Structure 1
Amino acid sequence: MLKEQRALRRKANRSPVGAAPGTLTAHPHAEPTELNLTLVGNGRSEFHENVAFDLVAKRRGEFPLVWLDCVGLGDVELIERVGKLFGLHRLALEDAVNTGQRPKADFYDAHGFVVLSMIDEIKSGRVEQISLAFGKNFVVTFQERKGDPFEPVRHRIKRNSPICERGGDYLAYTLIDAIVDSYFPVVENMGDLIDKMEDAVFAERGGDRRIKELHMLRRGVSGVKRSLWPLRDAMAGLTRAESPLVTTETKLYFNDTLDHAIRLIEMVETYRDMLTGLIEIDISMAQARTNDVISFLTIISSIFIPLTFVAGIWGMNFDPKASPYNMPELETYYGYPLALLFMAALGGGIFAYFKWRKWL
């Protein structure tokens, strides 16, 4: 999963070098653009999937609030037509099509524009760029591909919640809040994995595979942190916005979303510190195990080196009958058991000395 996300970041779409501002260039592998239309107001709501642009243009004025979801960024001509219909700035459209943008919040004369990183698949934590343009009576979202955390928002619209009675800024808030909250299951799942890894580290399970998993998990946490830091800045920009497009009441809700983003960042930083600590502990424990083995081998060697020396001396092939100086001990009646007893006493004495010095 992480490898796929890094590959997607490397392949993020960019305008050609030297291109004029506002140039729209589709990525070669971008998915075809589909339009999903949500009409809200007058005590009712309508949902239309994969509609033609002409239907959007025709029905836009029939409802007080319109949400157009553009899924896929492959059809730049269609995206340009959408931009003209809602009066979106060319620079905003360029940022929407050119993925890999840093999360931010900009305000133009006719609309606000927000770029965020969205988790479109909670189970795997797959991330994509999403852009939102909103005005007094519309919201236009641009997604790279199908999949989003907006289903609770759609259900609230169906139940005729307060979303249906407010403007585009509040609808934009509910969508942004859903994006931010989609990080919580992913971050909490990382916390559960860290707890399991902590148990594995202290139980000394997994070996080399555990080290690899710790590094991969820390890389994933760092990736989420890279997404959340600029997201927090974007939320702060919305709460401080001096624009008639965002009401004072909606700023309070944006501030609540900012609190969620800050909480997520604190959780991620805590998890990253925990992982760093676990990696250091695991390395220290591995070094301690190595030192224990080396100490054990050193002690065994220290005990058996003198015994090997004794056995080597009496194992030399000298004939005591040829000379009285040629190892007369070999003719001792109890020489073999006495030699064994001497070596046992020597080894036991060395062992007792190690215990006395508390080396064992």
Structure 2
Amino acid sequence: MAEAETTGSSARPHRKRSPVGASPGTLIADPSARQSALNLTLISPDDCKFVDDASLDDVAAACRKWPLIWLDCVGLANISLIEEIGKIFGLHPLALEDAVNTGQRSKADFFDDHAYFVLSMIDDAKTARYEQISFFFGDNFVVTFQEREGDPFEPVRRRIRVSNPSRLRHRKADYLAYALIDAVVDSYFPIVDATGDTVDRIEDELLASPKKHQIGQLHGLRRATNLLKRTLWPLRDALTALVRSDAAFISAETKVYFNDTLDHAVRLIETVESQREMMIGLIEMHLSLAQSRTNEIIGVLTIISAIFIPLTFLAGIWGMNFDPSASPWNMPELLSYYGYPIALGFMALVALMMVLFFRWKKWL
């Protein structure tokens, strides 16, 4: 959505559900899911390490040596791998089921020693493609599940690489989870800003010269904005749950940062709602301008027709070729020497008088 016209994409997230009657916590892979790959980030106050294509043995070993671990699982096809991750970190099976069944509504669930947070992110700005990303975090770990490659986390990774002092190096998993969630929320701002710029441009074009293609652009933008609004509203509630949580692994200081992310989400919602109302207004204005233009055209054609009605009447009368030699009542004007120019002059005078009358009545 670098160009906001692409916000008109009709792609919508669809939830994949477990089969009817399946046992709670059953993990079933989507046939279209990507193969799973593990990226491991190991963090301590004095050092950090990044391991791509990590194995479960790497994860288990890191849990014993490093004070803070971020495991990023990209792709949800390997169910056995995801189950093993759940066992290593003690993740609740119902939350794991929600992580695998994509298309979840944004929410925050709390368990004894960890929390589950899920939201949607736009992983392709050009096509506005949504994907679900799930966060599990406890006292010393963060586990994220993504549907495919591509995320807004690179600034967070750079901050982890930065030498001391670094909050991400010295604080616990709740602050790392905040930084990752905040990155996803902030990734919406360029999309929303691009949409606003496009709406402003369409408004200027619409006021200058209404075109048929503008109404299609506005409907596409409104459809995409409605989808974005449905995505952001539950996110606000989920972030509110994090701010108000009494979980021991979420510190009071981190809640202040989560509250800042909540403010960002509220601002996004307000901006999207404002843009949506503006789009509706522009659609109505486009229809009004088109109707006004149609009325102007009909008015001009009506005036032209009104002018030619008496002229047609006169031409019809003088066109009745009755022989004046047969009777004094039969069209003596036909023998007039200057009959033709007099008739044309009289008709021109009638047309001029009608035009002046229409201007006096302000119909022209």
Q: What TM-score do the two structures reach when normalised by structure 2?
A: 0.96
**Residues 1:270 and 2:281 aligned together:** no
8 A Cα contact 1:111 1:134, kept in partner: yes
Name which of 232, 237, 243 aligns with 1:239. Answer: 243
The one-letter amino acid of 2:33's match is A
Among 331, 334, 340, the alignment partner of 2:338 is 334
The alignment partner of 1:28 has SS state of coil
2:205 aligned with 1:197, yes or no? no
Deviation readout 1:209-229 (Å, 9 max, x if unpaired)? 111001101111111111111
2-structure distance, mates of 1:17, 1:320: 98
2:182 paired residue number: 177
1:139 corresponds to: 142
Q: How far apart are the structure 1 equivalents of 2:124 and 2:251?
A: 32
Instruction: Within 5 Å, give how 1:1-360 maps onto structure 2.
Output: 2-3=8-9, 5-6=11-12, 9-10=13-14, 12-160=15-163, 161-205=166-210, 207-360=211-364
Q: Alignment RMSD, CA only?
A: 1.1
Instruction: Kindly provide the CA deviation profile for residues 88-115 of structure 1, in whole angstroms up to 9, marking residues without a partner as x.
Output: 0000100000001100001011200001
Residue pair 2:229, 2:272 contacting (<8 A) in 1 also: yes
For residues 61 and 150 of structure 1, what CA distance do their matches in structure 2 show? 25
Count of matched residue positions in the alignment of Structure 1 and Structure 2: 356
Letter matched to residue 242 of structure 2? L
Deviation, structure 1 residue 191: 0.8
Secondary structure at the aligned position of 1:5 is classed as: coil
Q: Secondary structure at the match of 2:35?
A: coil
Name the structure, 1 or 2, with higher relative contact order (CA <8 Å, separation 6+): 2
Does the aligned pair in 1 maintain the 2:321–2:331 contact within 8 Å? no
Aligned to 1:192, what secondary structure does the other structure show? helix
Structure 2 CA distance, aligned partners of 1:73 and 1:22?
A: 15
Q: AA paired with 1:54?
A: D
Q: Verify the 8 A CA contact 1:187 1:268 in the aligned structure 2.
A: yes
Structure 1 residue runs of 5 or longer lacking an equivalent are none
Identity %: 59
Structure 2: which 5+ residue stretches go unaligned? 1-5
Distance 1:13 1:27 in 2: 7
Q: Which amino acid aligns with 1:346?
A: V
Residue 42 of structure 1: how far off its partner (Å): 4.0
Q: Tell me if structure 2 keeps the 8 A contact 1:115–1:131.
A: yes
| CA positional deviation for 1:298 | 0.2
Aligned 8 A contact 2:74 2:145 in 1: yes
Deviates more, 1:113-122 or 1:284-293: 113-122
Aligned mates of 1:157, 1:339 — CA distance in 2: 95
Distance in 2 of aligned mates of 1:157 and 1:267: 31
After the TM superposition, which segments of 4 or more aligned residues of structure 1 sit over 3 Å from their partners? 1-4
The DSSP-based 3-state class of the residue aligned with 2:11 is: helix
Give the TM-score, by structure 1 length: 0.97
C-alpha distance in 1 between matches for 2:301 and 2:11: 47
